[in-house]
Structure 1
Amino acid sequence: MTHPVTHPVTHPADTKGQLTGRSVPRREDPRLLTGRGRFVDDIALPGMLHAQFVRSTVAHGELASVDLTAVREVPGVVAAFTAADLDLTDITAELGRPRTEFVPTAMPVLARDRVRYVGEPVAIVVARDAYAAEDGLEAAKVRYTTLPPVTSEAEALAPGAPRVHEEAARNTLVDVSLFATEGIDEVFDAADCVVRVESRTGRQNALPLETRGAVAHWDDREEQLVLNTCTQVPHQVRTVASRCLRLDERAVRVVVPDMGGGFGQKCVVGREEIAAAAAALRLRRPVKWIEDRKDALSASFLAREQHYDVRAAFDADGHILGLDADVVCDMGAYSCYPFTAGIEPLMASAEMPGVYKVPAYRVRGRAVTTNKAPTAPYRGVSRPQYVMVMERLFERAARELGLDAVEIRRRNVITEFPYTGVNNITYDPGSYLESLDLCERLVKDEGWYEKRAAAAAEGRYLGIGYSCFSERTGYGSTAFAQRKMQVVPGFDISEVRMDTSGALTVTSGTMSHGQSHETTLAQIAADELGLELRKVKLHQGDTDRITYGYGTFASRSVTIGGSAVRLAAAKLGEKLCRIAAALWECDPGEVELTRGGVRRADGSVLTYEELADVAYLRAHLLPRDIEPGLSATATFDVFNDGTFSNATHAVVVELHQGTGQVEILRYVCVEDCGVAINPQVVEGQCRGGIAQGIAGALFEQVTYDAQGEPSATSFMDYKVPTAHEIPDVLIHHLETPCTFNETGAKGAGEGGTIGAPAAVLNAVNDALRPTGIELDHTPITPETVHRALNLESSNLEPSI
């Protein structure tokens, strides 16, 4: 397939040295690998103070009193503030839906009258060093009138349950029924086979290596509050900070240095960074806050705790006829800004049919509020969960109908494009069937089916599992507007500037937290103008230097941000051609870009340095219709349903009867993200995502006791897989270019995480087949597997 160019052709005629599609070394690595990266915690300013937060020790209660008198007397403590002291406005995220569907919840920067989860910030302590700040926390005296906590979905929805928010009846923040095909009940009544899956997934932490943090100070010369923070959405932080602090937005500058991961946890606005900024503004001294790992695990934004009850109807040949789903997402104590508590149930409801041709669909999606840390997006946002449920439905239907598990998928995947599904989403061309076929062939070619049979003969438990899925990427304004969000992300803006040396500075509203933007976006700009990669520098994460941007989430950086970069570079290329034509006194149609300059039909070349010299230093030579300088700005948005990457994953596991351990013997991924700007970067995204998906399938979970106390406050309790548990991954690439953006690329950021839990769970169930036991919940613990295997071996009645 070819990618149509949607702007005037200004590509360099000499394509030798094309960068797109090459795994060029990452521009970031020399700095980061030699310890020269600059992260928030590396920032040290004269007179800087350190902050930490007094946090609630109860899950639900009225704040009777907050006494900071003794705190202020602790040696080294400079100040301590409650909500009343700082008088900040609340952080509020809203959906534009009827009040019957959505209940907004205001999140105070510091708790005022009530606390709603263990770890909620109640006061901020500012001291000369981090140790004194910690000492100050211990001197705080907080009295609570405790209230009954709500610690589970079942408790939240129970009649007469305590209310986490008085305005939220039945503790429900979102209740939507997006789709209900007419006659769907009759479809199920007439079906040859109806299968049901009820699945629960554990609450997880996105666990970026770098915890959250902020350094804020007041700049008297600029009359501006400067907030250095590790966020994926700097412009959104600026907006919220200015509103909470009652400042003009111009008076807040957000700067993001190097960032050690985010995975969605940092794509919402946190309370602590706003409170640290408020303290700096009040004291007129720099204030630093760095989240410790205990707070990061227990009091930061969490994700993933969801409950699905789904039925699917099939005909006798294994074709799906209908899907009927009820989705409940435990969103914790508050809505996050800007995505709200609707982010998970709306994602699941809108996109659950996925890669399959589902003719009839009914879904109800709910977000409930509980006395737990609030939920933010986490890599994949509901897709790991609903893909797992869909893949379990197909596995179960295959067994009931006596079909091969891959064959039933083959009969149902979308093969003709564009395809508009029952969910009113139009899918652009993909390789759903091709990836499924290739993945199965790779597993067979390695002999895993024979090895499974041999293991069974030896009394060992080997299983093979698949997952076939798509990843909707590059959501534009139209797609987000369908969710009726008050803040509607979508577009991106890029500016490119060439200096007198012919070097290029590129800005992007996206924000890298490990995705190699400095490399991939530079590759796009360098290719467009025929520059060496070293001549291109990307700037991002500074709200004073970047006009506007929605940051990085939903695999949008290359699809949307990269398209804006390419359009801006193309505009600059057109201006360079116009300048050259004016100097040669010829028609612009007689010139074209070449490597490092502009070439005339007779072979003459003006280098970029020569053209820049005229544009800046001898602008009197330019005609009046060409402005001095060399810069261009472009925006890009997607005005359809987005573009869909797709993949098939296959996993081979062995279950160990003595320990219940799940050992992954082989992992195969066949992925298609359109044009891979840098294949090595794509593979890195894939491997990292798969590691997080395996973590959710087998290891990670935050649970709460009856009082709302979180179970996992350190790595002693929160089980994170190491390199020993993560297998090598065989990756094969397919390429179906996107036809409506400027790069041909589709997003690659979340696919690994989306596909892994389903593939692992299906492999475990395949291995458990001799026991007659099936598992539908994650994480799959060794205790659960041990019970399943040993129930079978002793011929006891399965109870799992």
Structure 2
Amino acid sequence: MTTVAPSHGEGTPGKFVGRSVARREDPRLLTGRGRFVDDISMPGLLHAQFVRSTVAAGSVTALDVSDVLGVDGVRAVFTASDLALKPIRAELSRPLEEFVPTDMPILSSDRVRYVGEPLALVVADDAYTVEDGLEAARVAYETVAAVTSADQALTPGVPLVHDEAANNTVVDVQMFATEGIDEIFASAHTVVSVQSRTGRQNALPLETRGCIAYWDDRDEQLIIHICTQIPHQVRTVTAHCLGLDERQVRVIVPDMGGGFGQKCVVGREEIAVAAAALKLRRPVKWIEDRKDALTASFLAREQQYDVRAAFDADGHILGLDADVICDMGAYSCYPFTAGIEPLMASAEMPGVYKVPAYRVRGRSVFSNKTPTAPYRGVSRPQYVMVMERLFERAARELGLDPVEIRRRNVITAFPYTGINNVTYDPGSYLEALDECERVLRDEGWYAFKERAEAEGRHIGIGYSCFSERTGYGSTAFAARKMKVVPGFDISEVRMDVSGTVSATTGTMNHGQSHETTMAQIVADRLRLGVEQVKIVQGDTDRIAYGFGSFASRSITIGGSAVSVAADKLGDKLCEIAAHLLETRRDNVELAPGRVRQIDDHSKFVTHRDIADVAYLRAQLLPKGVDPGLSATASFDVFNDGTFSNATHGVVVELHEGTGKVEILRYFCVEDCGVAINPKVVEGQCRGGIAQGIAGALFEQVSYDDNGNPLCASFIDYKVPTACEIPEIGIHHLETPCLFTESGAKGAGEGGTIGAPAAVLNAVNDGLRATGVELDNTPITPVAVQRALRKEIA
């Protein structure tokens, strides 16, 4: 278990990595001094909103905005022809017959593909007048039948969402096919199968999307303040669509209230707003309202799996055969493309288990729904749920304990190269599983289950055992043949004349505590107090380049770049200090606030002394050392990434009268390598688990047969509150990463990945006496009631 050092003054230089230092962001955010996009105002500010399609599929026969300008206070209205912008195009690095690239116009003009698609932009004096302007727009359509499910999309003869995508299929790949796999299944002792569907979800960041754009004449730049996880990608796409050089676009991210992946793609709206500001030469603000956020913003998760697994008589898995279909909505997102979900599922489905034979087909299909973007976990909550269901089902068929069958199959020898050609670095898969079961047994939950069942109650205990691939470097992303290949990060660490430090990072904080954890890393490397380090992020003019925050890459990649840059600066401090002390370079070392001689600690120079020479008396610098105190470094991972792992254990009670699934106990044993800040890791776990429980039991975006979204408010989109999320116990294991500078692995997505499987397995354990099993999420009260009445075969 990770040992957390006792907290002492933040100003005391020492070992900060591994300590639960208080979040430096909190005083500002909790006292209302945070600065989010909607807090920004400036003279002459105009407000924008979008005329959006009210039909899911069809042609625009008339778009009449002539009356919009007659609304008092409306300053402009723009259609596609007025802005004449290049479309967003998500492509692979080279053409493949398995992938169909498509264009996403900034504003649609002749064809609509989902309810909420933007058709025109109205700009007015205030946020209320712009809504009146929207009401004055008139749109006429010639509708066609909407494609509202993956099954329908693949049905011969249905309308095509994009003419170039035959059978509405944008991605169709078979990544692995072990020779002889059919014979393995034919001769296996036991074959089990799972057909599973997962509901479409909204990532639901507390702060909706939004931006402010304006032209700066002095700098000859289009300035965009925006809540995004990928500022440099927004800059690139905006410059391309508007026909500007990238130096003419500056993207700045203020405080941001969540993202969860929804904001790690480039949207159409911010580009249209930027174009309007450029034309009007006035600042324009767009803040997405909650209705649009629920119905017209990027969604995720709608997938279906048809998977079977072969086992021998002792419960060892022999083969895995999977068909994965992902409903990606109407467009391919930039930069990840519509391939991200089936490729993730196909590449990583074997997970923590030693699968000797594997075949998988992964497909993405278009439908007349809001486009899909990555959402915390990206396919892993789905395929982990399917894998864990397979092992539960095999355990029942073979008469084995569900934990024991996992023990016989989890990877225990590392590094391990799987049948999916992925090499797994050292982890604690078996240790986490054993510890999770031990805790639930020691706490008496198994005995409680026996007593409660004797009273006629329905109690279930479920587990999920999984890994979270983190620290994806350029090599891993290049394997997906993306045209834009994320991976590296760049950092500059600079000490000023006062001896305090600023460090840039290309990652983007939206609640993960980067201002604290990154500062802990720098403070350790340079022997400073945490309060002496300022983290700079989210400004494309101040950050050389970065790919932002997603896929748990911030500490693994960004934190490693910060570490290397800090070490380089430390080397320069020592070189200058050795010269000033008139001693050898190898006879000095960093100490709190100073550089001292190793052989005589009474001899030292302070950081301020060194900075004074580096900036104000450069003639005293050693020969060949440039003035100033700064260092820049990049970091990338040139392997398959690194793998955090965890086991979740859940105890539930099923209530006959209401069909409610009540979670009585939730316990997580996690291993993310070296925890930079254990309390931050726990916060990530708890937040992720809450979102995983939401997907397991509550949240689902649904549509009617005409493609109309049925969840336009929180009355219809059921989001769990603190009343539905239980207290969550967390136990830390630590297997240091071999490929990152701090030994840390990612921790951002694990909670979400493991929760649906654990909850679903617990529910099915509670249903064991009925002979009924559920395989779809969300698990509705109606489904539970019917299962308890044995009404579902």
Question: 5+ unaligned residues in a row in structure 2: which ranges?
Answer: 3-11
Partner of 1:611: 610
Partner of 1:722: 721
Partner of 2:100: 103
- 1:23-75 superposed Cα distances (whole Å, 9 cap, x missing partner): 01001000000000000000001000000000000000111121110111111
CA distance in 1, matches of 2:206, 2:140: 34
Q: 1:16 to 1:77 in 2, by over 3 A?
A: closer
Partner of 1:412: 409
SS in 2 for 1:69: coil
Partner of 1:703: 702
Q: Are the aligned partners of 2:14 and 2:528 in contact in 1 as well (CA < 8 Å)?
A: no
- 1:221-246 superposed Cα distances (whole Å, 9 cap, x missing partner): 00000000000000000000000000
**Offset, 1:634:** 0.3
- 1:440-498 superposed Cα distances (whole Å, 9 cap, x missing partner): 00000011111111111111100000000000000000000000000000000000110
Matched, 1:28 2:25: yes
Q: Are the aligned partners of 2:786 and 2:792 in contact in 1 as well (CA < 8 Å)?
A: no
Find 1:225's aligned residue among 222, 227, 235.
222
**Offset, 1:586:** 2.2
Matched, 1:763 2:756: no
- 1:57-113 superposed Cα distances (whole Å, 9 cap, x missing partner): 000011112111011111110000000000000001112354420001100011122
- 1:136-169 superposed Cα distances (whole Å, 9 cap, x missing partner): 1111011111111111001100011110000000
Partner of 2:622: 623
TM alignment of 1:687-702, pairs within 5 A: 687-702=686-701
Matching residue's letter, 2:312: D
TM alignment of 1:160-179, pairs within 5 A: 160-179=157-176
**Offset, 1:623:** 2.7
Partner of 2:743: 744
Find 2:463's aligned residue among 466, 487, 491.
466
Q: Are the aligned partners of 2:504 and 2:537 in contact in 1 as well (CA < 8 Å)?
A: yes
Matched, 1:395 2:392: yes
**Offset, 1:699:** 0.1
Matching residue's letter, 1:746: K
Find 2:256's aligned residue among 236, 259, 266.
259
Find 2:537's aligned residue among 540, 543, 554.
540
Question: 5+ unaligned residues in a row in structure 1: which ranges?
Answer: 3-14, 793-797
Partner of 2:5: none
Partner of 1:557: 554
CA distance in 1, matches of 2:227, 2:124: 22
- 1:246-303 superposed Cα distances (whole Å, 9 cap, x missing partner): 0000000000000000000000001111111111001000000000000000100000
TM-score by length of 1: 0.97
Matching residue's letter, 1:409: R
Matching residue's letter, 2:397: E
Matched, 1:248 2:241: no
Report the more deviating stretch, 255-264 or 98-107.
98-107
Partner of 2:666: 667
CA distance in 1, matches of 2:160, 2:40: 42
Matching residue's letter, 1:447: G
- 1:560-608 superposed Cα distances (whole Å, 9 cap, x missing partner): 1000001000000000111011112322111111111111122211000
SS in 1 for 2:772: coil
- 1:659-695 superposed Cα distances (whole Å, 9 cap, x missing partner): 0000000000000000000000000000000000000
CA distance in 2, matches of 1:676, 1:357: 27
Identity %: 76
Matched, 1:640 2:648: no
- 1:704-724 superposed Cα distances (whole Å, 9 cap, x missing partner): 111000110000000000000
- 1:475-534 superposed Cα distances (whole Å, 9 cap, x missing partner): 000000000000000000000110011000000000000000000000000000000111
Partner of 1:795: none
Q: 1:97 to 1:654 in 2, by over 3 A?
A: farther
Find 2:109's aligned residue among 108, 112, 115.
112
**Offset, 1:401:** 0.2
Matched, 1:799 2:792: yes
Partner of 1:122: 119
User: How many pairs does the alignment contain?
Assistant: 783
Matching residue's letter, 1:327: V
Partner of 2:188: 191
Q: Are the aligned partners of 2:71 and 2:133 in contact in 1 as well (CA < 8 Å)?
A: yes
CA distance in 1, matches of 2:330, 2:742: 40
Matched, 1:374 2:371: yes
CA distance in 2, matches of 1:105, 1:329: 17
TM alignment of 1:207-226, pairs within 5 A: 207-226=204-223
SS in 2 for 1:470: strand
- 1:732-785 superposed Cα distances (whole Å, 9 cap, x missing partner): 000000011101000000000000000000000000111110000000000111
Matched, 1:429 2:422: no
Matched, 1:573 2:570: yes
Q: Are the aligned partners of 2:13 and 2:528 in contact in 1 as well (CA < 8 Å)?
A: no
- 1:621-648 superposed Cα distances (whole Å, 9 cap, x missing partner): 1133000000000000000000000000
- 1:288-344 superposed Cα distances (whole Å, 9 cap, x missing partner): 000000000010000000000000000000000000000000000000000000010
Find 1:333's aligned residue among 326, 330, 334.
330
SS in 1 for 2:67: helix
SS in 2 for 1:524: helix
SS in 2 for 1:279: helix
Partner of 2:485: 488
Find 1:39's aligned residue among 23, 36, 39.
36
Report the more deviating stretch, 142-151 or 245-254.
142-151
TM-score by length of 2: 0.98
Partner of 1:602: 600
Find 1:80's aligned residue among 72, 77, 80.
77
SS in 1 for 2:722: coil
Matching residue's letter, 1:602: D
List structure 1 runs of 4+ shifted beyond 4 angstroms.
Answer: none
Matching residue's letter, 1:238: R
SS in 2 for 1:518: helix
Find 1:234's aligned residue among 215, 219, 231.
231
Partner of 2:9: none
Partner of 1:679: 678
Partner of 2:8: none
Partner of 1:452: 449
**Offset, 1:16:** 6.8
